[in-house]
Amino acid sequence: MSDNSDSLVFMMGEFEAIFPADRQYAKNHMWAMVTGDVVRFGFTAYSVRLLQDVYFLDWMFDAPKPTQMGDEIGAIESKKAESSLYSPLAGTITTLNPDLLDDPSAINVDKYGNGWLFEMQADDRSPLLSVTDYVEHLDEVWDKTQKTIKGQLNS
């Protein structure tokens, strides 16, 4: 992990995953930007690197939608994986990024900007991590992640 005043870097092998310090993070690898009582979520550099080339995004509902932390809310497909998406917090998802439904490639090229996924009114933001705590979490799970990527989890 390297540090400068406005971001932290986690090395994923030879690749850098950069995490802006101006936001919080969820253990399901989403960033959270809090503005007033609205929390905007998107995929972190870590998740985008693992997914590689997102080309399909589908939501299981129309906003607004009450949700509990861990509820399945959508699905994503990429070059490397098909995966369900889960709510990082309990609350009401108020807005889905309409641009991503037509072209989810913004997730790949502007993950901390126009590639945001959704906004919500959160019941409790305490499960979110600081950038430092999130990078420490990545340190803890990185070995298992590498084995999973290589298909060696049970070796």
Mean pLDDT of the chain: 90
C-alpha triplet 149, 101, 85: angle, nearest 5°: 40
| pLDDT at position 148 over 80 | no
Residue 155 lies in a domain: no
Residue 41 lies in a domain: yes
Q: 18: closest CA among 58, 48, 63? A: 48
Average pLDDT over residues 96-109: 93
Contact yes or no for 26/88 (Cβ under 8 A): yes
Residue 54: CATH number of its domain: 2.40.50.100
**Structure pTM?**
0.89
**Run of H or E including 143:** helix 131-149
Residue 11 lies in a domain: yes
Look at the chain and report how many structural domains it folds into: 1
Q: Tell whether the torsion through CA atoms of 151, 110, 29 and 77 is positive or negative.
A: negative
Residue 90 lies in a domain: yes
Residue 99 lies in a domain: yes
Q: For 103-144, what is each residue's pLDDT tens digit? A: 999 999 999 999 999 999 999 999 999 999 999 999 888 777
Residue 59 lies in a domain: yes
Residue 152 lies in a domain: no
* 116/58 Cα distance (integer angstroms): 14
* 3/8 Cα distance (integer angstroms): 5
Residue 128 lies in a domain: yes
* 23/18 Cα distance (integer angstroms): 12
Tokens representing 16? Answer: 């850098």
Q: For 37-76, what is each residue's pLDDT tens digit? A: 999 999 999 999 888 899 999 999 999 999 999 999 999 9
Domain span at residue 26? 2-146
